[in-house]
Structure 1
Amino acid sequence: MGTTALLVIDMFNPYRHEDAERLQHSAAGIVGPLAGLVRRAAASGEGLVVYVNDNLGDFSATRDDLVERALAGARPDLIEPLVPAPDCAFLTKIRHSAFYGTPLEYLLSHRDVDSVLLTGQVTEQCVLYTALDAYIRHIPLAVVTDAVAHIDPELGAAAVRMMRRNMRADLVTAGECFA
């Protein structure tokens, strides 16, 4: 019997970039449901929580570096509820997809993961590209619609529709997962 992996994508963001204000507004609405989902997944024994975060161009950055920089950024209130437990998997990425240049595929295979739940930011960018990479690897996926944040609401909604239609993603809410 397989496991479901909860992917938490790019939530450790200092929010000091061109689209930060728009993203912060959307992210503020997902932190509560996402933090609850992370807690339930970790407690369930049925889920694997995997944080995947952009290294923001710093190839020497560790998990602690990325979390500390985000906590020192413009919105620590969006970071604090999601700080990973020391035993959580934490992978750094360099591009949009959580699979690109990371050991994510190996980790999922090694842990007998048979499906992934996508959460985090940005819906129309990194979440979308991760969904595509899961789909082409034949990994069933679901998008947790109240746990993904967008920069552009129209593009975010379009990305969710694309993931459902083109990548056969299920659309679920955080409350439906690990309940």
Structure 2
Amino acid sequence: MAHTALIVIDMLNPYDHQDADRLVPSVRKILPALRELLDRARASTSPVIYVNDNFGDWRSHHGEILQTALSGRHPDLVAPIAPDGESLFVVKARHSAFFETPLAYLLGQLAAERIVLCGQVTEQCVLYSALDAHIRHYDVTIASDAVAHIDEGLAEAALEMMRRNMSAATCPVGDISFDDATPER
């Protein structure tokens, strides 16, 4: 049974939304660290769970969401971090990965006590997901160099809030272990 799960938030994105032009440079910057984090989680056999917006298309499934993202404006930001055949997938409709999704149930089935969050957007979906994980008593780690932002100042404030108010560990990918040891806070 797994004790640590990697949760990839909203990275399957066609980048056709209002803030996309402000988000894309940050996504480009985090892509190598995110790829490394995915590789390390998969090598450790920790579950990798993609939690992604369905962009209001309630008939879509994970394959269609991926294809929409790969057909979007920046497939080069999606292809390197696309789910593999072992990845799990949860569709969300709002900011939090937990809000009205089966994520908490899935984590319980996986016996996950610790979650590592990465993806986009730091000051929105990552922040709200971290809060919901905290109130559900998960040990939360944020891969600080594998989260993308729209507004750098708000992202820094969000990371500080996660550290102070949610007891989240915020650290670079190189400091994250998937061996059930919690990194330094």
Matching residue of 2:43: 43
Kept in 2: contact 1:37–1:178 (CA 8 A): no
Unaligned runs of 5+ residues in structure 2 are 179-185
Distance 1:42 1:28, change over 3 A: same
**Structure 1 residue ranges, 4+ long, deviating more than 6 angstroms after superposition:** none
Post-superposition Cα deviations, 1:128-168, rounded to whole Å, max 9, x if no partner, equal 00000001001110110000000000111110000000001
Give the Cα separation in 2 of the matches to 1:89 and 1:63: 9
Q: Distance in 2 between matches of 1:30 and 1:134?
A: 23
Q: Which residue of 2 aligns with 1:4?
A: 4
Partner of 2:162: 163
CA offset at residue 87 of structure 1? 2.0
SS at match of 1:84: coil
Contact 1:44 1:178 survives alignment (8 Å): no
Percent identity, please.
Answer: 50
**One-letter identity of the residue aligned with 2:85:** P
SS in 1 for 2:113: strand
Query: Could you list the per-position Cα deviations for residues 99-156 of structure 1 after superposition, in whole angstroms to 9, with x for gaps in the alignment?
Result: 1121110111111101111100000000000000001001110110000000000111
Match of 2:14 in 1: 14
- For 1:89, the aligned partner's letter is L
The match for 1:102 is 101
Coordinate RMSD, CA, aligned: 1.2
CA contact (8 A) 1:26 1:151 kept: yes
After TM superposition, list the pairs within 5 Å mapping 1:66-85 onto structure 2. 66-85=65-84
- Is the 2:2–2:47 contact (alpha carbons within 8 Å) kept by the matching residues of 1? no
Distance 2:12 2:173 in 1: 19
Paired AA for residue 123 in structure 2: E
| Aligned-residue offset at 1:48 | 1.4
Q: Distance in 1 between matches of 2:152 and 2:24?
A: 13
Using the size of structure 1 for normalisation, the TM-score is: 0.96
Q: Distance in 2 between matches of 1:140 and 1:6?
A: 12
1:144 aligned partner: 143
Matched, 1:115 2:114: yes
Give, as a single letter, the amino acid of the residue that structure 1 aligns with 2:127. Answer: L
Q: Which residue identity lines up with residue 100 of structure 1 in the other structure? A: F
Gap runs ≥5 in structure 1: none
- The letter of the residue matching 1:72 is S
Q: CA shift at 1:177, angstroms? A: 2.1
Deviation per residue, 1:48-92 (Å, 9 max, x gap): 111000011011111111111111111111001111012210111
